[in-house]
Structure 1
Amino acid sequence: MADDGVLDVGTETAALREVVAAEHAAVWGYGALGAALPADAHEPAVAGDVAHRGVRDRLVALLESRGADPVPREAGYTLPFPVLSAVDAAALAVVLEEGVSAAWVRLLDQAAEPAVRELAVAELGAAEIRAVGWRAAAGRTPVTSAFPGLPQ
């Protein structure tokens, strides 16, 4: 919201573009972490990948409907650490989910339209649900975050 109390759709659009960038990174990261998981553990990785692709595509369509250029995906992303085991893969998934959560929180702060705010709340919740499962798989405690997307 602008200082004069007027909703700023341009700022909201910029925040939407940030979420698209985070979703691109999540899609790429889920592809990378899948290789370190045993075959019987692929289901949550596939579900996460599908979820991030779906929301990314929805956001791209929203931006295009506004006449805004979506952030293009990068050719590759740097992993924060080597992914050599199932525990590493789960830890990477946590990083990815926390990254998109932070982007959704920034969007919530900048949302001008109620529908965008509702989408951000729903996707923030979905990211935290996925993160809980991955934190458990990575052996992290606590498995939940009281304030997902905010600095701990």
Structure 2
Amino acid sequence: MSGSGTEVDALQTTLAAEHAAVWLYGLLGARTSQSAEAGLYTAVRAAYDAHRERRDALTGDIASLGASPVGSAPAYTPPAGLDTAAGRASAALVVERSCAETYAALVGSTTGERRTRAVGMLADAAVRELSFGGEPEAFPGLPSDSLS
């Protein structure tokens, strides 16, 4: 294995987060009307596509380091409140914030090209949060208690 254990662990953690995000966005897409909620549907679809792409890239990165990529969980628990557009947007915001925290940890655990991609993933998640009602943050991806 050519990557450090810390780097591989961070990549595996990020891959696990991507599996969960892809699952949730699939669920949100199935519950969001393309005609009645066009803006939300477009944002959910874009997030789904981005997280699938990341999942696939991370799988390749981990395999290239000689490790076996983690698989998705056998089941995920859907969040409450998915019966309204506001609830679906809130669930998407939670998953983007969670992924941003994972990406921030990945930035700190990688170097070179992988770190550059992790920074891009973090920036993308921060911007995507705005699509789901999030507020701009000075340091996206850092837990709010770490800034005190």
- TM-score bracket, normalised by the shorter chain, equals 0.7 to 0.9
**C-alpha distance in 2, partners of 1:79/1:130?**
20
Shift of 1:80: 3.5
**C-alpha distance in 2, partners of 1:76/1:49?**
18
* 1:131 aligns to 2:129 (yes or no): yes
1:51-110 Cα offsets, whole Å, 9 max, x none, are 000011001001011111111011321233231111111001001101111111111111
Give the letter aligned to residue 144 of structure 1.
Answer: P
* 1:45 aligns to 2:44 (yes or no): yes
Number of aligned residue pairs: give it. 138
Per mean C-alpha deviation after superposition, the further-off stretch among 117-126 and 35-44 is: 35-44
- Structure 1 residue aligned with 2:139: 147
- Structure 2 residue aligned with 1:114: 112
User: Does structure 2 conserve the Cα–Cα contact (< 8 Å) formed by 1:26 and 1:52?
Assistant: yes
**Where do 1:32-111 residues align within 5 Å?**
32-40=27-35, 41=38, 42-111=41-110
* 3-state DSSP of counterpart to 1:35: helix
Deviating runs (4+, > 3 A) in structure 1? Answer: none
TM-score (norm 2): 0.87
Decide which of 16, 19, 29 is 2:11's aligned counterpart.
Answer: 16
Give the letter aligned to residue 93 of structure 2.
Answer: V
TM-score (norm 1): 0.85
Give the letter aligned to residue 57 of structure 1.
Answer: D
User: Does structure 2 conserve the Cα–Cα contact (< 8 Å) formed by 1:83 and 1:89?
Assistant: yes
Report the RMSD for the aligned CA atoms in angstroms.
1.4
1:108-151 Cα offsets, whole Å, 9 max, x none, are 1111x31111011000011111111111xxxx6xx212211111
Give the letter aligned to residue 15 of structure 1.
Answer: A
**C-alpha distance in 1, partners of 2:9/2:56?**
16
Give the letter aligned to residue 146 of structure 1.
Answer: A
Shift of 1:43: 1.4
Report percent identity of matched pairs. 38
1:10-56 Cα offsets, whole Å, 9 max, x none, are 10110000000011110011011123322232211111100000011
